[in-house]
Amino acid sequence: MGSNLAAARVSFVDARAAAALSARTARFLWAVLRAALVWVRGHLRWVLTLVGFAVILRLLGNQIGSREVLALAFGPALVAAVWSTCSPMSYERLCAGPARRARWRRWIRKNWPHLSRECGLSVSRATKARTFGLVPKEGSRFVASQSQTVTVWSHPRLMDVTTVGSLLRLTIRTRTGQTVQDLENAAAPLAAAAGAHAYRCVQMTPSAVEVVLVMRDSLSQARPAELPEAAHLNAVTLGRRQDGTPWHLTVTGRHTLVVGCSGSGKGSVFWGVCAGLAPAVRAGLVRLWGVDLKRGVEVGMGRGMFAAVATNPSEAVALLTRLLAVLEERGNRMAGITRLHQPTQADPLHVLAIDELAVLTAYTDPETKKEASRLLAEILTQGRALGVVVLACVQDPRKEVVGLRGLFTQTIALRLRSAEETRMVLGDGIATIAPAHRISPAMPGTAWVVEEDGSADRVRADWWSDQLVRQVAARHPAPVVEDLLAARGGQGKTHTCDVPASDSVGVRAAPVPGKRTSQMPQKERRPRASRTSRTSQRGTSDDGSSAA
Ligand SMILES: Nc1ncnc2c1ncn2[C@@H]1O[C@H](COP(=O)(O)OP(=O)(O)OP(=O)(O)O)[C@@H](O)[C@H]1O
C-alpha cells in the first residue's frame, strides 16, 4: 500500500515536471517562430527574390539547387530567431545593432540631397546648359548641340555620418549663403523625416554643426536608483542621458532650480541629489538642510540624512537665518585667505534642499514671504563661493512665484505646461530645441537640461522608491543635527550624533524639536505605470521635439 502511494506520488511529480517542460518548450518554439516571422518581414525583398529563384530552378528541374536556395532564404531567419530568443543581448550587440546602424547611415547618405531639399536647406537656380549630340530639330534636320535651361541644386555638405548606440550623428557644413542657425532650424524637420525621437545640435566650427538624432528612445523605461556607495562631493549621478551615458549633476558651486508640474518627478531629482550626497553626509563632508513645507511628507522619507528639516514657514525662516549665520561666519574667516571654499569635515559643504519653493516665496503670509525671500536671496548671491548651495524644486516658474529664478545657476526642466513656461525656465529661443512642455506624462523623471556650451540634452532621473530613500537615510545618517529652535534667536545649536557602524535599515529618529514628520504615517509610492499620452494618441512623438 505504502509503496503504491510512493509510486503514485513519483508519477504525479513526473507528470508535473513533464507538463512544465512541454509548456516551456512550447513557449520557446512560439518565441522562435515569432522572431523568425519578424526577421522575414524585415527582409522581405531578400526572401521573395530567393523564393522566386528557387521556384524557377524547380520548374527547370533542378530540385537540389532549388532546395539550397530556399535554405539560403530561410536559414538566416532561423539562425537569427534562435539566437535572438536564446541570447537577446549578444544578438543586439553583435548582429541587430550594427545592422540597424549601418542601415541608418546608408539611408541618410543616399537620401541627403532629397532630405536637404525638403527640409529647406538647399537652394536652386536656373542655368543654361548646352547638350551635345545629334538632336532632331524642326523638319528632318539635325543639330549638333543645343542650349537648355536646367535647375541646379546646391546642398549643404554632409561631411560625416557616424552612429553610436541609438544615436545617428550628422556633421553638416553650411553651403555658401547659409548660417549655422539655418542648419539648427532645419534639425526639427530633419529629425521628423528620419523618424528620430529627439535631436540636439552642437556647433562644431563657425560653419559646421553636428546634428545628433536619437533614433531609439533609451529613456522610455524607468530605471530604479541604486544605493550610493562612494562619497562624491562635486557631482552626483542622477540618471541617464538620451545617448545612454550617465547624467551627472554638478553640485559644488551651483544653485540648482528644478521646475516641473505636479507629477513630473521632481522627487527623483530631489532624492537623486540628497541621497547621492548621503555617503559624503555620513563622512561629515556635506551637511544637508531640508525645507519641506508640504508638511514634511517628502523629506520625512529620508529625515535621518538631514542636519535640520523645516516643515513650517517659521521653521524655514529659522533655518535660513542659521544658514546665513554660517555664511557670514565663513565669509569672515575666508576673507583675504581664499576665494573658494574647500569642504572638509570641520567645515563641510552646506546643501539646502527645498521642496516646493513657492510655498515659501509666494503662498505664505506676506511677512514670512518677504523675510524668507530676503534670506534666500542673500544665500543665493553669496553662497556659491562660500560652500553653501541651494537645490530648490518648484511647480510654477512664473516670476511672481519664483522671483529669485535668475539667481539659480543651473536649471532642470521636467515636464512643463506650455512652451512659454519652457522659455521662462530654460531661456529664450530654447523651447524648440528643448521642448520640456512636450515631455510625456507617462515618463516622469524625464527632463531637458541646457549644457554650458548652450546645447540642450534630454535626461531621465532614476526612480527613488520610499524604501530605498529610507535605506539610504539609515545607512548614511547625518553625524550632526542642528537645533532650529535655538537658531530662531540667531544662534545655532549643534548636536553631534553617534553614527551607527551597522547598515541596518530603518529611519533614525533625529532629535529635532518640534518635528512632526517622523511620526506621520507615510504612503509608499511606486513608479507610475506607463500610460498612453494624449500626444502619442494623436500620432506625434511623446516627448521629443520631433516625430516620424
Ligand atoms: N524617475 C522616475 N521614473 C519613473 N517614475 C517616476 C520617476 N519619478 C517619479 N515617478 C513617478 O511619478 C510619480 C510622481 O512623482 P513625484 O512625486 O516625484 O512628482 P512631483 O513632481 O514631486 O509631484 P508633486 O509636485 O505633485 O509632488 C511618482 O509617484 C512615481 O510614480
- Distance (angstroms) between ligand 1 centre and the Cα of 283 equals 29
304 lines ligand 1 (CB under 6 A): no
Of 32 and 147, the structure prediction assigns the larger pLDDT to 32
71-97 pLDDT, tens digit per residue, is 888 898 999 999 988 988 889 889 989
Q: Of 290, 422, 447, nearest to 357 (Cα)?
A: 290
Highest mean pLDDT among 379-383, 399-403, 478-482: 379-383
Please check whether residue 397 is in contact with residue 416, taking contact to mean a CB–CB distance below 8 angstroms.
yes
Give the CA distances from residue 222 to residues 170, 236, 360, in Å, rounded to whole numbers and listed in that order.
Answer: 29, 19, 31
539 is in an annotated binding site: no
Question: What CATH number has the domain spanning 99-109+123-214?
Answer: 3.30.980
222 lines ligand 1 (CB under 6 A): yes
At 2 the pLDDT is: 60
CATH 3.40.50.300 domain extents, the chain: 235-519
Work out the average pLDDT over 451-479.
Answer: 89
147 is in an annotated binding site: no
pTM recorded for the entire structure: 0.70
333-383 pLDDT, tens digit per residue, is 887 777 778 888 888 999 999 998 888 888 878 888 889 999 999 999 988
175-226 pLDDT, tens digit per residue, is 999 999 999 999 989 999 999 988 888 889 999 999 999 898 888 889 999 9
269 lines ligand 1 (CB under 6 A): no
At 521 the pLDDT is: 41
At 89 the pLDDT is: 85
Please check the confidence at residue 512 and state whether its pLDDT lies above 60: no
Grid cell digits, residue 189:
524637420
What whole-number distance in Å separates Cα of residue 298 and Cα of residue 282?
20
Provide the pairing of β-strand 235-241 with 456-461. Answer: antiparallel
What whole-number distance in Å separates Cα of residue 278 and Cα of residue 288?
9
Strand segments, DSSP code E, in 344-420 are 349-355, 388-394, 410-413
Angle between helices 44-59 and 2-42 (to 10 degrees): 90
Q: Collect all residues with Cβ–Cβ distance below 8 Å to 429 and sequence separation of at least 6.
A: 423
263 is in an annotated binding site: yes
CATH 3.30.980 domain extents, the chain: 99-109+123-214
Task: Classify domain 235-519 at the CATH superfamily level.
Answer: P-loop containing nucleotide triphosphate hydrolases (3.40.50.300)
Give the CA distances from residue 386 to residues 276, 288, 341, 430, 481, in Å, rounded to whole numbers and listed in that order.
Answer: 21, 15, 5, 31, 21
141-165 pLDDT, tens digit per residue, is 666 667 778 888 999 999 999 998 8
At 269 the pLDDT is: 96
